[in-house]
Amino acid sequence: MKNVGNYIKLIIIAAILIVINIIAGYVHSYIDLTEEKRFTLAESTTNLLYEVEDRIIIKVLLEGKFPASFKRLQQATREMVGEFRDENSDIDYVFEDPTDGDMDNVNNRIRSLAELGVVGRSLTYFEGKEKVQKLVFPYALVQYGDREVIVNLLETASGPEDEESMLNKSVSLLEYKLANAIQKITARNQGNIVFTSGQGELEPKDRTSLKNELSRFYNIGDLPLDSITSIGQEADLVIVARPTTEFSLKNQFKLDQYVMNGGKIIWLIDKMDAHLDSIQKYKFYVPKEYPLGLDDMWFKYGARIQPNFVLDLQSTAIPQVIGQSGGRPQTQLFPWFYHPLVAPASTHPIVKNLDRVNMYWPSTIDTIQTKTHVQKTVLLASSQYSRYQMNPVRLNFEILKVEPDPSKFNKGRQPVALMLEGQFPSLFENRVDESFKKTLESINQPFRAVSVPTKQLIVSDSDFAANWFNERTQESYPMGYNPYLPQGQNIFQGNQDFMINTIEYMISEGGVLEARNREVKLRLLNGPKVREEQTIWQLINIGLPLLFIILFGLVYNYLRRRKYSKS
């Protein structure tokens, strides 16, 4: 009977374990004890996933063997898409290796991916003493019905960041990138973005890259201010990109009342008329200030763009002819301090984990106290090794002949991009004349002296958001392309990311930009110390468990002999 009771207990325990395993197969739960809450999705992400009603497939092209660094990205991606599926069973994923199969199929697959903009990256690493070269595709394809969004999972660097840091940044941005793709692909209503025209703004060919990127998810159009009575609220965002001529009072009034009624504006402003071509043509050049007539408006809203130039030791270079060789000019790259590499100046979600932005001739931006509450956040600023030159200034290339003195670049970080959020006072308070009143009456719209809560962005440069256009080949290059730098070092992804992040933040209320705040801390081992103490730790890892087993066996045998010797 005793044996029967033991068998019954054993069967009950086995049955309980089987039931627990079956339940665990359907219910996935965990407690996130990591300091940075690595395994906890942002609330905006969970809300987005909850609203997904149709099937979404996430095809990750990271199947196969990788070195430890890429394996970390592969595993982190697998965990992230797994969390997405746990939140909503309509979201599924699959991992694929584009290089798996016979040569013909692989080549066809690679060509098909290239047509989508998915280009492989050559990765070289060692497996033991053997050198391995592998083509990897760190991308995910998010598919929803007949729509598809490509997600680049691997961040790139324009600065001297090592591979580990870049992979860590890539892991940190996984949630945002995948959630952002799902948000865009499932959006029912596309926002409306318009570019003002009529004041000498950027030509269409100069904003082709930005327009192409935005038109995938938004309706894009032009807004000739002289031809309209008012700017309707159906325009979700107005972009004023590099105006060069004066805004009439009527057009200022239209922009002002658009803001007062909740409209959002991105101001991309070149305060000074400066170009390298002008210096090359005339040997020296005294730039003039563009007569835009908008200073009073910005001042009223809480900002002032100074008529100056920011110079920064952290900058890109330009080529200069240094001699002749074989009848051909020989060029060399020299740092051009007027083209700074500006960096995030806050932890705002727009610039969190953002790469540096390459700007051209930016000016400093001051913040001004307003009569209403307007929150002012500096998003981008020059490095601490900066200074500025006030207008008038004589520009030439003589500065390249002298080694820069770091002690003169002592003005600290200078703001070049400012986010304004809140309720703005109107420029036209107590200044509405009869013609403006008639305009408002014709559209049945009352005058507003204070805006409803809204947002504006002021950037003291426009070229960073423009694309370089080759007049000879009629080819447009991507946003962030620097024509003066060598191949492989001439794309600054931060330029495009800053613009896209800003637009999403301003248009998508309650969007997934919050997920950009995720930060995965990189806890690396001390390389030199690991190599120095490698043998000791190998002995500890292998020998200590063996020693523990031997001691356990000796103690067990001793206690067993003692027990049975007494009996």
Query: Residue 478: inside a domain, yes or no?
Result: yes
Domain co-membership, 169 together with 293: no
Sequence letter at residue 206: D
Domain co-membership, 167 together with 224: no
- For 364, phi then psi, to 5°, come to -80, 150
pLDDT of residue 528: 62
pLDDT of residue 342: 97
Domain co-membership, 268 together with 359: yes
Number of domains in the chain: 4
Residue 211 predicted with pLDDT over 90:
yes
Domain co-membership, 419 together with 465: yes
Read off the DSSP letter of residue 513: G
Reported as a single tens digit per residue, the pLDDT across 350-381 is: 998 899 999 999 999 999 999 999 999 999 99
pLDDT of residue 472: 85
Q: Give the residue-averaged pLDDT of 128-142.
A: 84
Reported as a single tens digit per residue, the pLDDT across 460-488 is: 999 999 999 888 888 889 999 999 999 87
Query: Residue 320: inside a domain, yes or no?
Result: no
- For 513, phi then psi, to 5°, come to -60, -20
Q: What is Dmax (Cα atoms) for the chain?
A: 116
Reported as a single tens digit per residue, the pLDDT across 432-453 is: 888 888 888 888 889 999 999 9
Cα–Cα distance between 197 and 381 in angstroms, integer? 28
180: CB partners within 8 A, 6+ apart: 504, 511, 512, 513, 515
Domain co-membership, 3 together with 54: no
Domain co-membership, 116 together with 167: yes
Q: Which residues pair with 196 in a beta bridge?
A: 223
Cα–Cα distance between 329 and 289 in angstroms, integer? 34
9: CB partners within 8 A, 6+ apart: none
Q: Give the residue-averaged pLDDT of 125-130.
A: 73
pLDDT band at 405 (very low <50, low <70, confident <90, very high): very high
pLDDT band at 30 (very low <50, low <70, confident <90, very high): low
Cα–Cα distance between 317 and 333 in angstroms, integer? 6
Residue 214 predicted with pLDDT over 60:
yes
Q: Does residue 533 sit in helix, strand or coil?
A: coil
For the entire predicted model, the pTM comes to 0.81
pLDDT of residue 32: 56
- For 160, phi then psi, to 5°, come to -85, 45
pLDDT of residue 278: 87
Residue 492 predicted with pLDDT over 80:
yes
pLDDT of residue 284: 84
Last residue of a domain, one of 129, 151, 185: 185
pLDDT band at 401 (very low <50, low <70, confident <90, very high): confident
For helices 43-51 and 68-87, the axis angle rounded to 10 degrees is: 60
> CA separation (Å) from 332 to 71, 345, 484?
40, 32, 11
Residue 164 predicted with pLDDT over 80:
no
The rounded mean pLDDT for the chain is 87
Q: Give the residue-averaged pLDDT of 401-415.
A: 93
Query: Residue 520: inside a domain, yes or no?
Result: no
- Domain containing 153 — which CATH number? 3.40.30
Sequence letter at residue 565: S
pLDDT of residue 131: 79
Domain co-membership, 221 together with 132: no
Cα–Cα distance between 502 and 485 in angstroms, integer? 27
Cα–Cα distance between 470 and 484 in angstroms, integer? 13
pLDDT of residue 559: 77
Domain co-membership, 432 together with 466: yes
Domain co-membership, 467 together with 355: yes
Last residue of a domain, one of 168, 185, 202: 185
Assign residue 352 a region: left if phi > 0, alpha if psi is -120 to 50, beta otherwise?
beta
Residue 122, domain extent:
37-185
Domain co-membership, 458 together with 372: yes
Which range scores top for mean pLDDT: 108-117, 251-260, 525-534? Answer: 251-260
Nearest to 508 by CA among 125, 189, 103: 189
Read off the DSSP letter of residue 304: E
Residue 143 predicted with pLDDT over 70:
yes
Cα–Cα distance between 221 and 194 in angstroms, integer? 5
Query: Residue 324: inside a domain, yes or no?
Result: no
Report which secondary-structure segment, H or E, holds 351: none
Query: Residue 519: inside a domain, yes or no?
Result: no
Reported as a single tens digit per residue, the pLDDT across 56-107 is: 999 999 988 888 778 888 999 999 999 999 999 999 999 999 988 888 888 8
pLDDT of residue 80: 92
Q: Give the residue-averaged pLDDT of 323-331.
A: 80
Residue 388 has, within 13 A of its CA and on its CB side, a CA count of 22
pLDDT of residue 160: 52
Reported as a single tens digit per residue, the pLDDT across 270-297 is: 999 999 988 888 888 899 999 999 999 9
Query: Residue 340: inside a domain, yes or no?
Result: no
266 vs 470, higher pLDDT: 266
Cα–Cα distance between 77 and 95 in angstroms, integer? 10
Q: Which of 205-209, 414-418, 518-522 shows the lowest mean pLDDT across its residues?
A: 518-522
> CA separation (Å) from 454 to 246, 402, 419, 506?
25, 47, 11, 9
pLDDT of residue 303: 97
Domain co-membership, 283 together with 369: yes
pLDDT of residue 331: 86
Q: Give the residue-averaged pLDDT of 123-137.
A: 79
Query: Residue 389: inside a domain, yes or no?
Result: no
- For 386, phi then psi, to 5°, come to -130, 160
Q: Give the residue-averaged pLDDT of 397-422.
A: 94
Would you mind telling me the total number of residues written for the chain in this entry? 567
Structure tokens at 8: 């019954």
pLDDT of residue 280: 85
Structure tokens at 347: 């932890």
Sign of the four-CA dihedral 293, 380, 362, 474: negative
> CA separation (Å) from 156 to 71, 150, 164, 516?
17, 16, 12, 16
Last residue of a domain, one of 131, 165, 185: 185
DSSP structure string for 381-427: E--SSEEEEESS--EEGGGGGS---GGG--S---EEEEEEEE-PBPT
Reported as a single tens digit per residue, the pLDDT across 4-20 is: 666 677 777 777 878 77
Query: Residue 236: inside a domain, yes or no?
Result: yes
Sequence letter at residue 302: G
Nearest to 178 by CA among 80, 303, 312: 80
Domain co-membership, 93 together with 157: yes
Cα–Cα distance between 175 and 37 in angstroms, integer? 13
Q: Which residues pair with 66 in a beta bridge?
A: none
Residue 126 predicted with pLDDT over 80:
no
